[in-house]
Amino acid sequence: MFEDKVVLVTGGTGSFGKKFVEIMLRDYRPKKLIIFSRDELKQHEMRTGGFDHPSLRYFIGDVRDVDRLRRAFHGVDFVVHAAALKQVPACEYNPFEAIMTNVNGAKNVIDAAIDANVKKVLALSTDKAVNPVNLYGATKLCAEKLFVQGNAYSGETGPKFACARYGNVVGSRGSVVPIFRKQGATGGRISITDERMTRFWITLEQGVKFVINAIDKMHGGEIFVPKIPSMTLKELARTLAPSSPVDVVGIRPGEKLHECLISEDESRHSVEEDHMYVILPEHAWWPSGFWSRCRKVDGGFRFVSDTNSDWLTGEQLLALLEN
C-alpha cells in the first residue's frame, strides 16, 4: 500500500515517530517519508543518528499552524498524526497549551488534509481518552471526536479519518519502564503510586505495526483498539528492579487506578477480530455494510486493565524489552 506513495508523520522525532520511520523504511519503501515536527535539534539528532535515507524529508513545523500543514501536506497520500502534548502533569499545569496542540492541532490536521486531498489520515489516541479524569485525556477524547466526525466534512471522495487507541508503550520516552530499570541498576528505591494499579502495555514495534494495519483496513470513522495484555505496577517494579525497596506514594492528581480502552457504552457499536476491536461510528454518513463480517462485541462489555483476560508476566515483559 505504501510503496511509491508519500507518507507524512507529525511528531516524527518522538518515540513512535522514530520507530514508524524505521519500520516504513525497512518493510514498505515509500517514495517519500516526511518527518514533520517543531524541534530542529531533534531532527538534526535523528538525521545524524542514522535516519538519513534518500526518501526522508525533514519538515520544521507545528500542528498549531494550519498554513504550514497545508504546505506540508501537498502531494501527500497518507498522514499519521502522532504530535501531541502527552504528559499528564504538564497538561494540567499548561491547559491552554494542551488544548492548542491536542485539540486545535487535530482540527488543523483535518482541515489541511481535506484541502490537500490526502487519501487517509490516522491519529494516535490513548486509553486516557475513555472517561477522562485529566485534561490530557479530555483533549485526546476531543481529538478522537474530531477525527471521527471529520469524515462528515470530507465526503465520499475526500480523505478518510480514523484513530488508533492503545495503552502504555513499553520503553517509550516518558515511560516508567526506563525509570524503574535505571533505579534498579543503581540500587535506588522504587516509587509506585498504588500496588493495585494496572495498565495496558504494548511495545513500540507492536504499536507501529498496529497503526499500519489500521491504515490499510480503515474506511473512515473507526477507532481501532488492539487486544493487548495488562500488568500491575507492583509486578512491573518487581520485574525491573527485583532487589530495590518499594515506596507506595499514593495516586497522583488526574490518575486512575485502572485504565479502560473500550467503555460499556462504546461496546454497543463495537466489533472484534482476532487481534483487535473496532469501535464503529454511530452516524448517518456511516455505510452499515462495513465490518459486517466481524463479530459484534457482547452488550455490556468493557475492556479494562484490571479485568483483562490477558496478563503480562515478568518473563514476558523482559522478553519484550530484550527484543
| Amino acid type, 10 | T
Average pLDDT of span 88-107: 97
Task: Give the model's pLDDT for residue 200.
Answer: 95
Residue 103 has pLDDT above 80, yes or no: yes
Higher pLDDT, 6 or 250: 6
Mean pLDDT of 51-75: 97
What was the pLDDT predicted at 32?
Answer: 97
Q: Would you state the pLDDT for residue 174?
A: 65
* 245: pLDDT strictly greater than 90: no
- Architecture of the structural domain at 6-169+203-227+263-303: 3-Layer(aba) Sandwich (3.40)
Return the pLDDT at 122.
98
- Specify the pLDDT at position 175: 74
pLDDT grade, residue 135 (50/70/90)? Answer: very high
Catalytic residue selected from 42, 128, 140, 160:
128
Task: Tell me the pLDDT tens digit for each residue of 140-187.
Answer: 999 999 999 999 999 888 999 999 999 999 867 667 887 787 777 777
Dihedral (CA of 92, 207, 275, 307) sign: negative
Closest of 169, 166, 173 to residue 210, by C-alpha: 166
Let me know if 128 is a catalytic residue: yes
Mean pLDDT of 284-307: 88
Whole-number average pLDDT of the chain: 93
User: Is a pLDDT exceeding 80 seen at residue 323?
Assistant: no
Across the range 219-236, mean pLDDT stands at: 94
Q: Give the residue, 323 or 113, on which the prediction is more confident.
A: 113
Are 72 and 61 in contact by the 8 Å Cβ rule? The answer is: yes
Res. 53: pLDDT tops 90: yes
**What are the residue ranges spanned by the domains of the chain?**
6-169+203-227+263-303
> Given this model, what pLDDT does residue 217 score?
95
Inter-CA distances, 169 with 51, 126, 189, 229, 285, Å: 22, 10, 23, 12, 33
Q: What percent of the chain has pLDDT over 90?
A: 76
Q: How confident is the model at residue 109 (pLDDT cuts 50, 70, 90)?
A: very high
pLDDT value, residue 45:
96
pLDDT digits (tens, 9 = 90+) for 188-222: 788 888 889 999 999 999 999 999 999 999 999 99
At residue 319 the predicted structure's pLDDT band, cuts being 50, 70 and 90, is confident
Query: What one-character-per-residue DSSP string does 9-75 give?
Result: EETTTSHHHHHHHHHIIIII-BSEEEEEES-HHHHHHHHHTT---TTEEEEE--TT-HHHHHHHTTT
Quick one: pLDDT band at residue 288, thresholds 50, 70, 90? low
